[in-house]
Amino acid sequence: MIIHLGVDDIDSPRGGCTTHFIYRLLGKWLHDPKVKLIDYPNLIRLNPGVPWKTRGNGALVLRLDTSRDPEDLLEEALAYAEEYVSEYRHPESQPGIVLYKGEINALLEWFSRKALSDIVSLTLLDRIVGKLGDKIIYRRITGGRRGLIGSLAGIGYRMTRTDYTYELIAYRSEENYGKPRKVPSESVKKMAMVTRGRTFLNYDWETNKTLILPHGPDPVLLGIRGEEPEDVLEAFGMLDIEEPVEGALIFRTNQHTDAHLLRINNLREAYIYRSVRIKVRVHSKPKRITGGHVIFSVTDGVYVIDVAAYEPTGHFRNIVEELLPGDTIEVMGVVRPMSRRHGPTINLEKLHVIALAPNVKLLNPLCPRCGSRLKSAGKNKGFKCPKCGLRARDLYKEIVYLERKISPGWYEPPPRAFKHLMKPLERFGKEKKGFPERYIPTNFYLKGKSYFIA
Ligand SMILES: [Zn+2]
């Protein structure tokens, strides 16, 4: 029987603890011939705009083929989750586990799609749960029902027809939790260079910063993101890791696929907390404000909304600052609610410049007698020459086309400013559209040994 077990974010930067929980849970079933994985463990990131999310807003899903009673597996997972949560729990998380039996149906797919871009209410959750009937069993571990939204949405996002990537996550030995991670940046840099094009967002070249190491006290040693399992494994093997590695697991994930961006046609659909993508015109000239953020407004012809490129996006702001009213662009990002100081604002994740408006400057004409630049003689009074005193009414302003410093195309922030779902430009054209044809036999790595769970 095919079953899906979804666990929502037990919390930690980069979903570390939830992936660690899954890694440990799989360890318990590693030698059980009646439990087989039919997919890599899935790490599904959900709408980054959700205000009450724990940090990563992600769900973990195990898709299994089992001849055991599915409810026994749920009970085992639950018992272990309770044990795990008491040890690592974040006070604000509302972890839950969902068991779903059989193939994913269209209703659940729709629900997942919604949870990727929108806010899902508990009322909608209840309605979906009601309609799914006995296909699902759900259990809260602690807190409210909110965590179940993530677990259920994760299960419904099957990644058989949508793009995906992989992340190899390695875990630390418990005695090192909270201590600095001993992975020298030189080897990370080398790895990023050698595997360039096959791994991504692992190193920020602009600031020479390693991006694979989280900073919190969580069990995650590092995470390497890449296109294929072979790539992240190869990259992992290239690192000089100067501390014991408890184990590592490769996740199939919707990270860095832009799966959260919902195409909308007018700004009326730019609801607060929604992740959107929309073609608009620049309405006001970008302004750099205190704190270094660059703000401008855009319009769909009817509505106007602010767009912001925040300070951490570095040089990306310089591009944004070159936009002019009239430019046709596509903006992508989460719609943030208004505050006392600003209206609803799209937090710019990527910019697609489609067409540039001419940069026109109107100059007073030159004096036909002496060649000096004329001055205005006052409203509706024509021009006068500051040098020779000529007055003229029948002259027109001169149109000067100034150079535009940007060209049509795609622009993105530096790697360090990337969030989980944002797709880097280097991934354009590498989108996957089908289920992976095979596992590689090093799916699960524990204490120096590799296992194949399938
Ligand atoms: Zn003159």
Q: CB of 346 within 8 A of CB of 306?
A: yes
* Ligand 1 geometric centre to CA of 401 (Å): 24
Q: How many CB atoms lie within 10 A of CB 86?
A: 10
CA 371 – ligand 1 centroid, Å: 6
- φ, ψ at 117 (rounded to 5°): -115, -20
End-to-end CA distance of the chain: 14
> Distance from the CA of 382 to the center of ligand 1, in angstroms?
14
Residue indicated by tokens 């793009």: 163
Instruction: Measure the CA angle with vertex 192, ends 187 and 193; round to 5°.
Output: 95
Q: How far is the CA of 42 from the centre of ligand 1 (A)?
A: 76
Q: Which helix (H) or strand (E) holds 223?
A: strand 220-226
Scanning the structure block, which residue is given the tokens 């002019």? 324
Measure the CA–CA gap between 118 and 114, rounded to whole angstroms.
Answer: 5
pLDDT recorded at residue 8 = 84
| φ, ψ at 69 (rounded to 5°) | -70, 120
CA–CA gap between residue 25 and residue 156 (Å, rounded): 21
**How far is ligand 1, taken at its centre, from the CA of residue 149, in Å?**
75
pLDDT confidence of residue 202:
95
Biggest distance spanned by C-alpha atoms of the chain = 100
For 91-127, what is each residue's pLDDT tens digit?
Answer: 666 678 999 999 999 999 999 999 999 999 999 999 9
Ligand 1 mean position to 402 CA, how many Å?
Answer: 25
Check: CB of residue 202 under 8 Å from CB of residue 225.
yes
Q: What is the DSSP string of 333-401?
A: EEEEPP-SS---EEEEEEEEEEEPPPEEEEEPPBPTTT-PBPEE-STTS-EE-TTT--EESS--PEEEE
CB neighbours of residue 69 within 10 Å: 11
Contact indicator for 431, 257 with CB cutoff of 8 Å: yes
Q: How far apart are CA 270 and CA 447, in angstroms?
A: 48
Write down the pLDDT at residue 425. Answer: 97
Task: Kindly give the distance from the C-alpha atom of residue 389 to the centroid of ligand 1, in angstroms, as a whole number.
Answer: 6
Those residues with Cβ within 8 angstroms of residue 191's Cβ, 6 or more apart along the chain or in another chain: 199, 202, 224, 235, 238, 239
Separation of CA 381 and ligand 1 centre (Å)? 16
Partners of 196 in the β-ladder: 199
Predicted structure pTM score: 0.90
Q: What pLDDT is stored for residue 454 in this prediction?
A: 39
Ligand 1 center–CA 361 separation, angstroms: 22
CB atoms within 10 A of CB 33: 7
* Token reading at 266: 């007018």
How do strand 245-253 and strand 444-446 relate by DSSP bridges?
A: antiparallel
369 CA to centre of ligand 1 in angstroms: 5
Q: What pLDDT, on the 0 to 100 scale, is given for residue 83?
A: 82
Flag residues of the chain having pLDDT under 70.
Answer: 9-16, 53-56, 87-94, 142-143, 438-454
What sign has the CA pseudo-torsion 421, 427, 433, 434? negative
